[in-house]
């Protein structure tokens, strides 16, 4: 909230992702971590604005799906998000863990729109490694095509 007063949140693009961590003393808020031999862990879901400033956070057990934490993460943002307009569209960058109908509906409710066709990929230089995962994008601009 203080950052919004001083500089202003850039709502043009938001990004969200989750990370799992160990939580040996987490008590009842942990869940079995599917990537760490089912040891207790937590998952943190973080939303950032266009400049990378964190604006929302949710924490649950490590066994929670990314898209299931999406609503709690968006609701944790303490600043009222302005409605997107044609002059000031808003987009959301998410990875494949959010590519579910429930996540699409949640984004649609917020005024942003899913782009169904991925952008055409440019050939990668031979010295670059291939991307490790597919990115799903949402934008308030209508899809062209």
109 within some domain: yes
CA atoms within 13 A on the CB side of 59: 9
90 within some domain: yes
Burial 41-69 (b: 16+ CB within 10 A, else e): bbbbbbbbbeeeeebbebbbbbbbebbbb
28 within some domain: yes
144 within some domain: no
Number of domains in the chain: 1
**For residue 98, what are the domain limits?**
2-139
How do residues 13-46 score in pLDDT, each as one tens digit? 888 888 888 776 666 666 666 666 666 788 899 9
Indicate the helix (H) or strand (E) that contains 44.
Answer: strand 40-48
Whole-model pTM: value is 0.69
How do residues 39-96 score in pLDDT, each as one tens digit? 678 889 999 998 999 999 999 888 888 888 999 999 999 999 888 888 888 888 888 7
């Amino acid at each position: 909230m203080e950052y919004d007063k001083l500089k202003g949140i850039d709502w043009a693009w938001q990004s969200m992702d989750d990370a799992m961590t160990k939580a040996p003393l987490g008590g009842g808020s942990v869940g079995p971590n599917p990537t760490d031999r089912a040891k207790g862990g937590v998952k943190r879901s973080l939303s950032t604005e266009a400049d990378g400033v964190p604006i929302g956070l949710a924490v649950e057990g490590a066994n929670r799906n990314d898209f299931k934490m999406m609503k709690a993460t968006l609701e944790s943002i303490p600043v009222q998000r302005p409605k997107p307009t044609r002059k000031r569209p808003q987009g959301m960058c998410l990875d494949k863990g959010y590519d579910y109908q429930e996540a699409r509906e949640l984004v649609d409710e917020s005024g942003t729109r899913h782009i169904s066709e991925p952008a055409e990929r440019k050939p990668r230089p031979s010295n670059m490694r291939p991307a490790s995962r597919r990115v799903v994008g949402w934008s308030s601009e209508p899809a062209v095509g």
